[in-house]
Amino acid sequence: MDSVSTPVIEVRNLVKNYPKLRAVDGISFAIKPGSCFGLLGPNGAGKSTTIEMIEGIKSQTSGEILFAGTPMDKDFKQLAGIQFQSTALQDFLTVEENLKLFASFYRTQTNLQTLIKDCDLGGFLDRDASKLSGGQRQRLLLALALVHDPQVIFLDEPTTGLDPHARRQFWDLINKIKAAKKTVILTTHYMEEAYRLCDEIAIMSEGKIIAQGSPDELLAKHFGDSIIELPLSDIGDYKPFETYYFHEDRVEILSKNLTESLKRLLHAGINLDRLKIRSRTLEDLFLELMQSPRD
Ligand SMILES: Nc1ncnc2c1ncn2[C@@H]1O[C@H](COP(=O)(O)OP(=O)(O)OP(=O)(O)O)[C@@H](O)[C@H]1O
């Protein structure tokens, strides 16, 4: 897997039919080595089904899944790290015992002391898994996924239910994994998480990919503008030249050229002390895509 040009994982025309539903409907994508690839989409879009087919947990109805250019074989299990849900934990074993148990399942193992440090488990190694907080449990589950030093890590909604601090701590961990040149495949409902961690994202809806690219590329492609916000009381009866929306207490002006828009406002004598400028976010894009009619 040393060729930079060969994708670590490539999915071609992947389909999954359940008895009454096509959950994944002919999707294709390629994941570069050492990158973080995010699958986004509303509930039921087909993200988990897709990730589980790549992990080899579910079989596909049709289509191909290639690992480093060749069909997956049993060696993939050694090279892939899957962060399971907390049901995979042995509740009456301590954190350290869980780590040792999982490590014993594999031919190769990473240095456990380094893993404990990286995943910040040192403070509660002798605590039963059942007694961990949400953030501690997720860090242990991540450590278990990393115990055999895999090349590819699968994280299915890893920060759901975590408080903002624990979520940020988890993002730091994922960034460490990326810095170690491992490939990460992530599903998430948090747009900020996708924006901060992913090099590339695919947004799924009803089994199809409806948008794909780097977060910044997607934002640039879909939105060529920023939003200027002003309190209504400051704008007076000025009518912006640009597209604008009045809200109860503020006006939002969609500006394609901030310098020009700000010059116009200054020229009109508007007080800009309380002005805010906001870039469009992935959340704006996600909501817009979910509202657009699709074929
Ligand atoms: N074993 C199954 N049998 C029948 N239908 C299933 C099965 N597993 C999933 N589905 C259906 O397939 C569709 C896609 O489900 P999937 O779990 O992949 O979506 P998701 O994007 O991961 O959703 P979420 O964000 O809620 O986790 C849903 O309509 C779901 O009800």
* pLDDT of the residue at 295: 43
**Does ligand 1 lie within 6 Å of residue 207's CB atom?**
no
Contact 174, 36 (CB under 8 A): yes
**Does ligand 1 lie within 6 Å of residue 59's CB atom?**
no
Residue 274 reports pLDDT greater than 70: yes
**Does ligand 1 lie within 6 Å of residue 23's CB atom?**
yes
Using pLDDT thresholds of 50, 70 and 90, give the confidence band for residue 210: very high
Name the residue at shortest CA distance from atom 26 of ligand 1. Answer: 43
* Average pLDDT of span 278-284: 86
Name the residue at shortest CA distance from atom 2 of ligand 1. Answer: 18
Of residues 28 and 246, the one with the higher pLDDT is: 28
* Average pLDDT of span 216-242: 89
CA of 52 to the centre of ligand 1 (A): 11
* pLDDT of the residue at 143: 93
Of the residues 24, 25, 48, 189, which should be mutated to test ligand 1's pocket, given the most ligand atoms within 8 Å of the CB? 48
Of residues 287 and 185, the one with the higher pLDDT is: 185
User: What are the pLDDT digits (tens) for 93-145?
Assistant: 999 999 999 999 888 889 999 999 989 999 999 999 989 998 899 899 999 99
